């Protein structure tokens, strides 16, 4: 018989599913096959051990290591497809924002208009997280920040979170990059659904 059936017999032996005739067959093969004989010697040296659990843990550990690699490849492929789309969407929003804001030079602006404004560059620590996806952020900021020159710094804290609604559509997928970064760095991969990154998602927008 082929060597492949031997590994099946061995598995059945470990599981305790072997019947007497099958054991005879396994032993007959071990007589002919020194590798199998070594394996049987090993297993028989500790007959009471739960060998199956050990093998299952080996397999689980190996699966953990090989599947994230496959997942990263999938995510990378998706990312490559989506980036140009985001860049286009971001550019379109940028343009609309600029057009909407152009006549508005007054600092007293409504909340919705503030939403279209870009925040002041300095007090925006959450921007650092967006650097993971460099394309959307830097291209947006300079153009819109320049248009309302009278935008005082006092409004910036409140204006900081506002632009998020438009960007929210961009960020979630961008967070996949965060997932990928983390997946390659840590052994157990975090779930690919939106990560709890509080600095990026401010409180008022968490239910988005």
Partner 1 sequence: MLRLLRQQPATTTDVPSDAELLARFQESTKPEDLQPLYERHAELIYALALRYLSTPERAEDAGMEIWAVLLDKLPKHEISNFRSWLQTTVRNHCLMQLRKEKRDPLRQRSGEGLMQSESLMHLATDSSLSNHPDTRPLYHCLKQLKEEQARCVRLFYLQEGESYQSIANALGLSVGRVRSHLQNGRRNLKICLERRQNEND
Q: How far is the CB of 76 from partner 1 (least distance, A)?
A: 13
Question: What is the distance between the alpha carbons of residues 96 and 101, in angstroms, rounded to a whole number?
Answer: 8
Contacts of 109 (CB under 8 A, 6+ apart): 117, 155
Q: Cα dihedral sign for 159, 161, 166, 171?
A: positive
Decide whether 26 or 90 has the Cβ nearer to partner 1: 26
Q: How far is the CB of 29 from partner 1 (least distance, A)?
A: 12
Q: How far is the CB of 181 from partner 1 (least distance, A)?
A: 19
Question: What is the distance between the alpha carbons of residues 176 and 170, in angstroms, rounded to a whole number?
Answer: 11
Decide whether 75 or 89 has the Cβ nearer to partner 1: 75
Q: Quick one: tokens of 143? A: 């153009």
Q: How far is the CB of 126 from partner 1 (least distance, A)?
A: 36
Question: What is the distance between the alpha carbons of residues 23 and 90, in angstroms, rounded to a whole number?
Answer: 68
Decide whether 10 or 179 has the Cβ nearer to partner 1: 10
Decide whether 67 or 182 has the Cβ nearer to partner 1: 67
Decide whether 28 or 78 has the Cβ nearer to partner 1: 28
Beta carbons of 4 and 10 less than 8 angstroms apart: no
- Cα angle value 183/189/194 (rounded, 5°): 85
- Using CB under 8 A, list all residues that contact partner 1: 3-4, 7, 10-11, 14-21, 23-24, 27-28, 35-36, 38-51, 54-55, 57-59, 61-63, 65-67, 69-70
Q: How far is the CB of 1 from partner 1 (least distance, A)?
A: 12
């Amino acid at each position: 018989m082929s060597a492949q059936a031997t590994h099946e017999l061995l598995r059945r032996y470990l599981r305790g599913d072997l019947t007497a005739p099958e054991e005879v067959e396994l032993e007959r093969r071990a007589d002919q096959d020194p590798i199998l004989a070594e394996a049987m010697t090993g297993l028989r040296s500790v007959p009471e051990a739960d060998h199956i659990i050990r093998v299952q843990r080996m397999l689980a550990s190996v699966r953990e290591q090989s599947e994230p690699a496959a997942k990263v490849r999938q995510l990378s492929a998706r990312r490559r497809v989506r980036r140009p789309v985001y860049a286009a969407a971001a550019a379109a929003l940028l343009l609309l924002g600029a057009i909407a804001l152009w006549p508005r030079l007054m600092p007293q602006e409504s909340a919705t208009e503030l939403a279209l404004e870009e925040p002041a560059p300095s007090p925006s620590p959450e921007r650092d997280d967006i650097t993971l996806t460099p394309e959307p952020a830097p291209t947006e900021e300079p153009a819109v920040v320049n248009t309302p020159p009278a935008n005082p710094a006092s409004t910036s804290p409140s204006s900081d979170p506002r632009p998020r609604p438009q960007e929210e559509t961009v960020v979630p997928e961008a967070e996949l990059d965060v997932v990928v970064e983390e997946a390659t760095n840590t052994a157990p991969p975090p779930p690919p659904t939106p990560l709890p990154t509080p600095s990026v998602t401010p409180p008022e927008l968490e239910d988005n």
